């Protein structure tokens, strides 16, 4: 099975962001981050990370979590972890 | 069923039933939904934490909302629980909390005892650590005077000394145990201090699932999500207890809830209770659990679909732990359970929102959950071994200690007598039936089902018009005889399969069909299955050129519930009784001319009965 593309992962992440940020219809992009997205506070960030780990059945490392800057980083991390 | 499916079906967002994943992802929309209800009771809660408290607060917020509170929170800055309580308290005082929660973990213990310390030195170290917390409680009592909830401590994530960690003076495990003991003593002496037993709560989940190093280093959260949820559930129960919202009544079903088997069918001497089998032992243990709740002040009530007289005999069983004298209100009849629960509430003069309802049947749980505002209906499943554990998890009967409760509740808070009336979900019973998404397979007897059909004739006693018993051989012969019309019904709903639960069998005499048998399992009572079965019988009879159906009711000690069955199904009384029937029997007649289908709520498939023009040659395909 070919590795999923960034677009495919982003698509699967959409509902998590919509729900966790409580913004139905919200479109996140690879450039979305806490800095440029409404409702994305520190607790919501934790909820998002936990939800992504559970949704994709992956566990992120401490250092990886620390380096996350935007959704693009998260997408690439998911791809790397699900290989 | 996922949360989304609940939502799309318009069902209540029952937090206890939500998978953790859904809970996490949908906190904000859940909050919006729960907070939009009317009649919520405001409560001001300050949380002083030694670690990050936002996660546990966000979950407690949801649980309190669900319990009918509208909470406002004040959280201290990270790790400042001691300073804000003892020294820098103005913000806290200004917030005017009604409850203060001091959320600390084993990571907040500053100094453990050194390895080489004497026994006296060990106790000095514990006393020193204890004094820090005692100072907090004293300061809060002086400055604010509200109820304080202080957690005791979970055991440390590592046992550095191995097993000796629990026995050595330098062991952290021993230190925590001793400090917790001091907390327990203090709780008995300090007014307005309640201890949250995190030591037990964490142990139930398991320490390895309680604490996650990664979350600690990343967020300084001292628990896993699972742990935070357990804290929130426990705190919700404690806050409810402080404000007098503790539940007071356990409403119990009987068959397969308090004993194994169906007492109306199996007989009072055949129910599973006692010590003879593992299953009987499990029911006995559950009865003992219920009795222990009663001993601490929880009222027990019975709400069961049963014949009253027969149901009472279950409590006369020599092995029954529960006796009738333990039951404060007893309702065994064939009316819908939500109606009986309303009667129980009236008779006990308590709100149904102080009830917890336990029933092995998911459909009964669904209608009670939907129709009775505020009642707790835990998903106990249908395995008696799990009932008590699920009830425990709900923390329904939490109480502040008795003296304190009397002191505090009476003095500070007025019982909220006008309970928030929560919306019920179904406009009427028909809407509820439709929500069950019932599908039935109703057809002429099939070879594969003959054994089950014969078995049902032998074990069904309550919904059984004639109580005629058939052997397998007899039933096989009848099934192959074209002069008989035999119909079986299988039912499923969104909770699962009920299997083959109804049988109707008649023999032809001229242009009439005489029903020899009509039976149904009581667990699908009042689902509309009776109507669907009649439609099938009428269809098959009409197709065979039959114009009249005759039904007979032969009363027994157990089948009183179907005395009026044929009348309810549109039959007219028929006289005189033919020879050979007992005097107590009744006979009924239904003319098929102009018969219209009665089934409204069940989607029927595989129904070959409505095919007209069936002849004896075709019978072979149905056996």
* pLDDT digit string, tens, across residues B156-201: 999 999 999 999 999 999 999 999 999 999 998 887 899 999 999 9
For residue A51, the distance in angstroms to the closest alpha carbon of chain B comes to 6
Common-topology check for domains B39-246 and B249-395: yes
- How large is the average pLDDT for residues B585-599? 93
Tokens of residue B605, six digits: 């498939």
Is A43–B58 a contact, with Cβ atoms under 8 angstroms apart? yes
Residue of A nearest to B25 (CA): A20
Peptide bond into B576 cis (omega under 30): yes
Is A43–B214 a contact, with Cβ atoms under 8 angstroms apart? no
Q: What is the C-alpha separation between B121 and B112, in angstroms, rounded?
A: 11
Sign of CA dihedral B26, B28, B33, B35: positive
Q: What is the C-alpha separation between B396 and B392, in angstroms, rounded?
A: 7
Quote the pTM value: 0.72
Q: Are B51 and B77 in contact (CB under 8 A)?
A: no
Give the pLDDT score at B607: 54
Tokens of residue A5, six digits: 């593309």
Give the pLDDT score at B608: 53
Residue B68 CA: distances (Å) to CA of A71, B61, B365: 37, 11, 21
Q: What is the C-alpha separation between B336 and B382, in angstroms, rounded?
A: 20
Q: What is the dihedral of CA B329, B333, B338, B340, to 10 degrees?
A: -30
Give the pLDDT score at B11: 41
Q: Are B30 and B23 in contact (CB under 8 A)?
A: yes
Q: pLDDT for A33-73, tens place per residue?
A: 999 998 899 899 999 999 999 999 999 998 898 889 999 99
- How large is the average pLDDT for residues B298-304? 94
- How large is the average pLDDT for residues B64-73? 94
Residue B404 has pLDDT above 60, yes or no: no
Contacts of A51 in chain B (CB under 8 A): 21, 24-25
> What does the H/E/C string look like for A3-57?
CCCHHHHHHHHHHHHHHHCCCCCCCCCCCCCHHHCCCCCHHHHHHHHHHHHHHHC
Element spanning B497, H or E? strand B496-509
Residue B6 has pLDDT above 50, yes or no: no
Provide the 3-class DSSP secondary structure of residue B288. Answer: helix
Whether the CB of A43 is below 8 Å from some CB of chain B: the reply is yes
Whether the CB of A6 is below 8 Å from some CB of chain B: the reply is no
Q: Are B218 and A62 in contact (CB under 8 A)?
A: yes
Query: Residue B274, CB half-sphere, CA atoms under 13 Å: how many?
Result: 12
Is A66–B218 a contact, with Cβ atoms under 8 angstroms apart? yes
β-strand pairing of B438-444 with B602-605? parallel
Residue B141 has pLDDT above 90, yes or no: yes
Question: For an interface test with A, which of B2, B4, B28 has the most A Cβ atoms less than 10 Å from its Cβ?
Answer: B28
Q: pLDDT for A68-79, tens place per residue?
A: 999 999 999 999
For residue B58, the distance in angstroms to the closest alpha carbon of chain A comes to 9
Residue percentage of chain B with pLDDT more than 70: 91
Residue B332 has pLDDT above 60, yes or no: yes
B434 by Cβ neighbours in 10 Å (0-12 / 13-18 / 19+) ranks as middle
Q: Are B66 and B27 in contact (CB under 8 A)?
A: no
- B309 Cβ contact list (under 8 Å, min separation 6): none
**Residue appearing with tokens 């919520």:** B40
Q: pLDDT for B446-501, tens place per residue?
A: 888 898 898 889 888 889 999 999 988 899 999 999 999 999 999 988 877 788 89
Confidence of residue A9 (pLDDT cuts 50, 70, 90): very high
Q: What is the C-alpha separation between B9 and B29, in angstroms, rounded?
A: 16
Residue B8 has pLDDT above 90, yes or no: no
Q: Where are the domains of chain B?
A: 39-246, 249-395, 436-622
Tokens of residue B255, six digits: 């068959």
Contacts of A64 in chain B (CB under 8 A): none
Residue B2 has pLDDT above 70, yes or no: no
- How large is the average pLDDT for residues B401-412? 39
Element spanning B363, H or E? helix B362-371
Give the pLDDT score at B220: 94
What domains appear along chain A, each with residue ranges and CATH number?
Answer: 6-82 (1.10.1200.10)
Question: For an interface test with B, which of A18, A43, A45, A63 has the most B Cβ atoms less than 10 Å from its Cβ?
Answer: A43
For residue A47, the distance in angstroms to the closest alpha carbon of chain B comes to 6
Whether the CB of A51 is below 8 Å from some CB of chain B: the reply is yes
Whether the CB of A21 is below 8 Å from some CB of chain B: the reply is yes
Give the pLDDT score at A48: 94
Q: What is the C-alpha separation between B289 and B549, in angstroms, rounded?
A: 51
Contacts of A44 in chain B (CB under 8 A): 28
> What is the third-level CATH fold of B249-395?
Rossmann fold (3.40.50)
> Length of chain A in residues, anyone?
83
Confidence of residue B401 (pLDDT cuts 50, 70, 90): low
Residue percentage of chain B with pLDDT more than 90: 69
β-strand pairing of B572-573 with B602-605? unpaired
Q: What is the C-alpha separation between B262 and B57, in angstroms, rounded?
A: 45
Average pLDDT for chain B: 88
Contacts of A42 in chain B (CB under 8 A): 54, 219
Residue B93 has pLDDT above 50, yes or no: yes
Q: What is the C-alpha separation between B100 and B89, in angstroms, rounded?
A: 13
Provide the 3-class DSSP secondary structure of residue B214. Answer: helix
Is A62–B218 a contact, with Cβ atoms under 8 angstroms apart? yes
**Residue appearing with tokens 């937090």:** B15
For residue B22, the distance in angstroms to the closest alpha carbon of chain A comes to 8
Nearest CA to B421 out of B357, B376, B370, B374 is that of B374
Q: Nearest by CB to A46, which of B28, B29, B219? A: B219
> What does the H/E/C string look like for B415-484?
CCCCCCCCCCCCCCHHHHHHHCCEEEEEEECCHHHHHHHHHHHHHCCCCECCCCCCCHHHHHHHHHCCCE
Q: Nearest by CB to B25, which of A47, A61, A65? A: A47
Is A20–B27 a contact, with Cβ atoms under 8 angstroms apart? yes
Confidence of residue B420 (pLDDT cuts 50, 70, 90): very low
- How large is the average pLDDT for residues B352-371? 94
Q: What is the C-alpha separation between A5 and A23, in angstroms, rounded?
A: 25
Is B218–A22 a contact, with Cβ atoms under 8 angstroms apart? no
Residue B417 has pLDDT above 60, yes or no: no
β-strand pairing of B496-509 with B355-358? unpaired
- How large is the average pLDDT for residues A9-34? 92
B586 φ, ψ to 5°? -125, 155
- B135 Cβ contact list (under 8 Å, min separation 6): B82, B86
Angle, vertex CA A29, rays to CA A27 and CA A35, nearest 5: 95
Contacts of A16 in chain B (CB under 8 A): 25
- How large is the average pLDDT for residues B503-523? 94
The two most distant CA atoms of chain B are separated, in Å, by: 102
Residue A28 CA: distances (Å) to CA of A5, A20, A42, B26, B107: 16, 12, 17, 17, 38
Q: What is the C-alpha separation between B554 and B533, in angstroms, rounded?
A: 20
Q: Are B396 and B233 in contact (CB under 8 A)?
A: no
Give the pLDDT score at A2: 74
Q: pLDDT for B542-560, tens place per residue?
A: 999 999 999 999 998 889 8
Residue B10 has pLDDT above 60, yes or no: no
Interface of B with A (CB under 8 A): 20-21, 24-29, 32, 54-55, 58, 214, 217-219, 221, 225
Looking at domain B39-246, its CATH superfamily turns out to be SGNH hydrolase (3.40.50.1110)
Q: pLDDT for B268-284, tens place per residue?
A: 989 999 988 999 999 99
Q: Nearest by CB to A50, which of B32, B217, B225? A: B225
Give the pLDDT score at B98: 95
Q: Of 3.10.20.70, 3.40.630.30, 3.40.50.2300, 3.20.20.370, which CATH number belongs to B436-622?
A: 3.40.630.30
């Amino acid at each position: 099975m070919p590795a999923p593309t960034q677009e495919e992962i982003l698509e699967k992440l959409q509902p998590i962001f919509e729900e966790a940020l409580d913004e139905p219809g919200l479109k996140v992009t690879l450039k979305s981050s806490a800095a440029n997205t409404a409702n994305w506070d520190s607790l919501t960030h934790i909820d998002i990370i936990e939800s992504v780990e559970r949704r994709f059945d992956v566990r992120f490392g401490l250092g990886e979590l620390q380096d996350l800057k935007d959704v693009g980083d998260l997408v690439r991390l998911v791809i790397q972890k699900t290989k | 069923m996922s949360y989304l499916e609940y939502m799309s079906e318009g069902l209540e967002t029952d937090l206890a039933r939500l998978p953790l994943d859904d809970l996490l992802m949908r906190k904000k929309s859940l909050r919006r939904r729960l907070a939009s209800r009317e009649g919520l009771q405001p409560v001001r809660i300050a949380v002083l934490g030694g670690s990050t408290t936002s996660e546990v607060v966000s979950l407690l917020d949801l649980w309190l909302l669900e319990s009918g509170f509208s909470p406002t929170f004040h959280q201290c800055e990270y790790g400042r629980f001691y300073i804000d309580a003892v020294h820098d308290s103005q913000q806290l005082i200004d917030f005017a909390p009604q409850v203060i929660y001091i959320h600390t973990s084993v990571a907040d213990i500053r100094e453990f005892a050194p390895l080489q310390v004497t026994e006296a030195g060990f106790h000095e170290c514990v006393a020193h650590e204890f004094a820090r917390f005692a100072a907090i409680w004293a300061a809060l009592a002086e400055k604010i005077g509200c109820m304080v909830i202080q957690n005791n401590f979970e055991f440390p994530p590592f046992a550095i000394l191995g097993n000796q960690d629990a026995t050595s003076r330098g062991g952290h495990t021993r230190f925590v145990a001793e400090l917790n003991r001091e907390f327990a003593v203090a709780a008995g002496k300090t007014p307005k201090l309640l201890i949250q037993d995190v030591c037990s709560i964490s142990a139930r989940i398991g320490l390895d699932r309680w604490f996650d190093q990664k979350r600690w280093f990343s967020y300084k959260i001292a628990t896993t999500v699972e742990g935070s949820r357990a804290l929130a559930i426990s705190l919700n129960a404690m806050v409810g207890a402080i404000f007098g919202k503790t539940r007071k009544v356990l409403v119990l079903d009987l068959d397969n809830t308090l004993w194994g088997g169906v007492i109306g069918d199996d007989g009072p001497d055949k129910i599973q209770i006692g010590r003879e089998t593992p299953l009987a032992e499990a029911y006995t243990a559950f009865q003992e659990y219920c009795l222990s709740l009663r001993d601490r002040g929880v009222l027990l009530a019975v709400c069961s679909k049963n014949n009253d007289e027969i149901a009472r005999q279950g409590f006369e069983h020599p092995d029954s732990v529960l006796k009738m004298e333990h039951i404060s209100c007893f309702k065994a009849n064939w009316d819908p359970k939500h109606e009986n629960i309303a009667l129980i509430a009236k008779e006990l003069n308590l709100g149904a929102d102080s009830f917890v309802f336990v029933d092995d049947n998911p459909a009964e749980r669904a209608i009670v959950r939907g129709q009775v505002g505020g009642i707790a209906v835990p998903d106990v499943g249908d395995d008696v071994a799990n009932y008590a554990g699920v009830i425990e998890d709900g923390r329904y009967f939490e109480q502040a200690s008795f003296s304190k409760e009397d002191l505090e509740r009476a003095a500070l808070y007025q019982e909220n007598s006008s309970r928030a009336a929560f919306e019920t979900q179904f406009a009427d019973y028909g809407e509820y039936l439709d929500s069950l998404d019932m599908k039935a397979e109703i057809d002429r007897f099939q070879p594969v089902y003959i054994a089950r059909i014969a078995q049902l004739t032998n074990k069904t006693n309550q919904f059984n018009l004639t109580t005629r018993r058939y052997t397998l051989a007899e039933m096989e012969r009848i099934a192959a005889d074209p002069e008989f019309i035999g119909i079986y019904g299988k039912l499923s709903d969104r909770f699962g399969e009920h299997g083959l639960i109804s049988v109707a069998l008649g023999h032809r005499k001229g242009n009439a069909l005489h029903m020899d048998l009509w039976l149904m399992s009581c667990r699908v009572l009042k689902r509309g299955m009776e109507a669907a079965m009649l439609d099938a019988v009428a269809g098959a009879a009409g197709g065979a050129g039959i114009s009249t159906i005759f039904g007979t009711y032969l009363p027994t000690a157990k089948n009183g519930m179907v005395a009026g069955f044929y009348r309810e199904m549109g039959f007219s009384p028929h006289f005189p009784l033919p020879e050979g029937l007992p005097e107590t029997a009744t006979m009924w007649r239904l003319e098929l001319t102009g018969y219209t289908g009665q089934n409204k709520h069940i989607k029927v498939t595989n129904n070959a009965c409505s095919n007209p023009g069936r002849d004896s040659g075709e019978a072979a395909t149905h056996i």
